[in-house]
Structure 1
């Protein structure tokens, strides 16, 4: 019996180690097998997080049972079943939140004249994270949503890619992205995950061939109505080239026209506001993605999710369309932003 138990222990710990390290193993390989390992490993991360959070509660329950003089051993199976059902509920609910994106509407007013325009509809989608887990199927859902919204312009504040460009190329996701269109164009900036992949130039070439304009510390005047400024991601600050600050990017622009800024990570809202930016759009935080991680992001950023008026600047941070790691969202939803802008400035 001891020999059989020992054999089963080897099997158990072998399988457990495989699951626990599958995400790390996947980093060293490419192709469909890497995708399968990432799926397994990413769900393990979610299970691990909530298992750790459940432990104090379980200890508390066992302590209360012992104080009541009840035989705790007899209730272990019942407690285990409750925990298992709770974990399954979390995974199912979190999966629904992740794969069922919502449209998040915002209406803002900018007291500037924008050429002949009195209004503008912006569709903003951040943190798509295309790769081994999020692919063409979910991307096509985004394209269908964009056709429903009928935006004037589409803006993507970073992390289109999840890091590794291999599945992006193999599954020809750039071809699918080419259908993400709006009358005034589709514009994007890089996020930290594009830098992690180390294939920025190749990625930009593929994306721009798909009709998306990538702005890297650049500005463009659109329809003679407003300026769009795109910053390199904060990750670029550790590279020799670095990145320009907001004041440098907007100093040559006509400040009487509206200025929109795409900056993946929502740092230094005060600097953007003082530079004359009217609308700053960011992502990156995922709103923590899985509660209670939002308690961390809310401490790291002045605005980690939603809307804030910073002086006269409108700042909006999206929780993102895709996900990093486990395709699970607890306390957040995958979302697309519909931003309706009204311009109230007058001549003279």
Structure 2
């Protein structure tokens, strides 16, 4: 199994190097034709930062000074998106170059014209992607649960998955979340995993908890673990720091909110890979074994898997994230094939399933074909 993993990593890295070399060669041709025929080293240093900055920052995180690490990673994160869309664009650009040359256009003229068009397209991509990432929308879902919830007839939930708080998404975006949540005036706030991007260090160093503590609702604020909390480790420290600011992280745990309803949170499926000694996670049926099924049950499960099992176990509302809806199209074509529900709403028997594409971003702080979002979920309760 380990040898297969190593071979897979080597294959992915080899493909990345090959693709980045192809993109770099095209960019260099534009540099020589449109910028200067000297100072080639300037181009290659800038390109190396763009192409390998994110990966290099992650590998050298312990060796680099923190601020340098943040800067290299930020530029490199944009580089990931630029390389991705360059790879999709350049084959057409190369074909256009060939056609122009066959038509008698001088080589440097063709390179300058085509390169300018590609750069403009990439600039538009960055501008639109930034707007989609940093200007979250509120998506409303109205659902009915055919159970009594004590004396409560309605429940309003604000849910935000995948904040990915770290070196790129930070306090400014938390303030956006708080402002939008306060405008909704929810009864309950839920965070279905990946509150952290990976390492807990930026969360602590940048004192993000001081801002996040303003996230409050009358019936409480609850979170579940995502794969990125497990990737970063320090689960116990994270849970304690969240508890200190009034946010309960439900780690395979069920809480009963008065006599009205239950909220449950599962360990993420990544626990088996990144924390194998922690005992794995409970099946949904085990997790809810002692829960009062006559009450409405809301389950936080970061990755939208096992929807059928959740419905059979008596869950009334399943909230997930993880997919980002691909974040950068055409990534949504992949997530659509990987998950039964990769974004939006689905009814599974009596259960309502909602998957958010997330409030934050992973890697590039860009979204193409998706939009950062906060969920406004309004539940009406009634007799079954």
Q: TM-score, normalised by structure 2?
A: 0.85
1:54 match: 89
2:25 match: none
Tell whether the 8 Å contact from 1:126 to 1:157 is kept in structure 2 after alignment: yes
For residues 64 and 229 of structure 1, the distance between their equivalents in structure 2, rounded to whole angstroms, comes to: 60
For residues 39 and 84 of structure 1, the distance between their equivalents in structure 2, rounded to whole angstroms, comes to: 20
- Of 5, 9, 24, 2:40 maps to 9
2:53 match: 22
Structure 1 alignment gaps of length 5 or more: none
How far the C-alpha of 1:11 sits from its partner, in A, is 3.7
For residues 38 and 66 of structure 1, the distance between their equivalents in structure 2, rounded to whole angstroms, comes to: 39
For residues 205 and 58 of structure 1, the distance between their equivalents in structure 2, rounded to whole angstroms, comes to: 53
After superposition, the CA RMSD in angstroms is: 1.6
After superposing on structure 2, the runs of 4+ consecutive aligned residues of structure 1 that deviate more than 3 Å are 62-67
1:234 match: 269
Structure 2 alignment gaps of length 5 or more: 1-35
> C-alpha offsets along residues 271-321 of structure 1, whole Å, 9 cap, x if unaligned?
111111110000001100000011111111000000000111100000100
For residues 178 and 267 of structure 2, the distance between their equivalents in structure 1, rounded to whole angstroms, comes to: 25
1:182 match: 217
- Of 165, 168, 172, 1:137 maps to 172
Q: How does 1:80-99 map to 2 (within 5 A)?
A: 80-99=115-134
More moved, 24-33 vs 184-193: 24-33
- Of 286, 308, 312, 1:270 maps to 308
Tell whether the 8 Å contact from 1:62 to 1:72 is kept in structure 2 after alignment: no
Tell whether the 8 Å contact from 1:189 to 1:264 is kept in structure 2 after alignment: yes
For residues 66 and 60 of structure 1, the distance between their equivalents in structure 2, rounded to whole angstroms, comes to: 10
For residues 258 and 43 of structure 2, the distance between their equivalents in structure 1, rounded to whole angstroms, comes to: 63
Tell whether the 8 Å contact from 1:31 to 1:167 is kept in structure 2 after alignment: no
> C-alpha offsets along residues 13-44 of structure 1, whole Å, 9 cap, x if unaligned?
23322332222332223522211111110000
Aligned positions, number: 341
Q: TM-score, normalised by structure 1?
A: 0.94
Q: How does 1:1-348 map to 2 (within 5 A)?
A: 8-27=39-58, 28=61, 29=64, 31-65=66-100, 69-71=103-105, 73=107, 74-238=109-273, 239-240=276-277, 241-345=279-383
Structure number with greater CO (CA < 8 Å, separation at least 6) is 1
> C-alpha offsets along residues 207-227 of structure 1, whole Å, 9 cap, x if unaligned?
110100010001011121111
